[in-house]
Amino acid sequence: MKCPTCNETLLISDKNGIEIDYCPKCRGIWLDRGELDKIIDRSAEHYSRKENYDRDVNQYGHKDNDAGYYKKNPHYKKKSFLGDIFDF
């Protein structure tokens, strides 16, 4: 399949049972029908467990008291566990 943006051949990556089509040239990510719903369902399931939420707060730095730091440093981007899915 070709990338709708740059016409490059899309590559497929399987992340946690979800096939993600991505373009190596423009780095666009393309999801088939139902794949976004799977990602949303898995993230809701992941964060429904308190131990996962607490671990991710410590690992990725999502704390309410960090808001001032991010305002002072606009180029710093918060990390998310979803980055583990899109790590190519």
Encode pLDDT of 24-58 as tens digits. 999 898 888 889 888 888 877 777 777 777 777 77
Tokens encoding 36? 């976004």
Average pLDDT over the chain, rounded to whole? 76
pTM of the model: 0.51
By the 8 A CB rule, do 21 and 10 touch? yes
Q: Where are the domains of the chain?
A: 1-62
| List of residues 6+ apart from 63 with CB closer than 8 A | 57
pLDDT at residue 81, as a whole number: 62
Structure-token match 């990390």, residue found = 79
Q: Of 6, 80, 2, 4, nearest to 43 (Cα)? A: 80
State whether CATH 1.10.1660 applies to domain 1-62: no
